[in-house]
Amino acid sequence: MRLHHHPLSTTSRAVLLFAADQAIALDLRLVDLFAGEHLEPPFAALNPSCQVPVLEDGSFRLTETTAILKYLAARHGSRAYPVDARLRARVDERLDWLNTGLARDLAYGFVYPQLYPHHRRADDAAQQATLDWGRRQARRWLGVLDAALLGTHNRCLCGDSLTLADYFGAALLSLGDAVHLDYAPWPNVHAWLARMKALPCWGDVNRVFETLVVAPNRTRRFAAFHDEVTA
């Protein structure tokens, strides 16, 4: 199976992490987002939304990260996406929760507008309002994740076994590293993310992200996440 991806893309990293941890072989094709390759006809024909990742399995093409994760898990009989209806529904619930809540507010509302010029709002007031909103909402979601979804008793997002939700969630939350976001105020989230980062494949999967995004931004100033936003 072929995966069109970019190593800096949060969504691509989720699929790469799952595949690496579960020893699922993928034929990796890099789509150069920074050169605009995703907007060119050959890729746009694969995914009219012009986004990575895209999976190809023979003539079958699939977009949307959570759909790709579920398909890969189903094709490989992975326990990370259980067949029991209720256990599976819990994984779906967590994936939707992450995708429609935390991803929107943490990634699109707080991290991307600071990190990537094309996500920055048109003027300072709009940028400030976006960051204020993203920060407030993301903090609320992190509180829910910490106290209710993980709590002190769950090692993973759906109990004690790794599921697709953990791979997807870890790729998303590690985005915070790029803007110096510290999850210490949410100790269960902090501990869970540390466990995910201890996976043997974590370093390899995230090396390019660490090198090209996290490291160069170490000395840069970003909006505070814990106090009132000022940047």
Ligand X SMILES: N[C@@H](CCC(=O)N[C@@H](CS)C(=O)NCC(=O)O)C(=O)O
Binding site for ligand X (CB under 6 A): 9-11, 33, 38, 50-52, 64-65
Token output for 87: 């256990």
| Residue number with CB closer to ligand X (5 or 135) | 5
| Residue number with CB closer to ligand X (11 or 163) | 11
Token output for 31: 């789509």
Amino acid making up residue 171: A
Separation of alpha carbons 17 and 167, rounded Å: 6
Contacts 24+ apart (CB under 8 A), 181-184: 181/111, 181/225, 182/225, 182/226, 183/142
Separation of alpha carbons 106 and 135, rounded Å: 7
Q: Hunting for tokens 């907007």 — which residue is that?
A: 39
User: Which residue's Cβ has the minimum distance to ligand X?
Assistant: 51
The CB-of-167 to ligand X minimum distance in angstroms stands at 13
The CB-of-153 to ligand X minimum distance in angstroms stands at 30
The CB-of-10 to ligand X minimum distance in angstroms stands at 5
Contact predicate 174/198, CB 8 Å: no
| Residue number with CB closer to ligand X (116 or 136) | 116
Element (H, E) at 54: strand 54-57
Q: Hunting for tokens 């995004």 — which residue is that?
A: 213
| Residue number with CB closer to ligand X (50 or 224) | 50
| Residue number with CB closer to ligand X (102 or 229) | 102
The CB-of-112 to ligand X minimum distance in angstroms stands at 9
| Residue number with CB closer to ligand X (3 or 181) | 3
The CB-of-66 to ligand X minimum distance in angstroms stands at 6
Question: Which residue, among 227, 117, 116, 224, has the nearest Cα to 180 in the 3D structure?
Answer: 224
Contact predicate 14/168, CB 8 Å: yes
Amino acid making up residue 162: L
The CB-of-64 to ligand X minimum distance in angstroms stands at 5
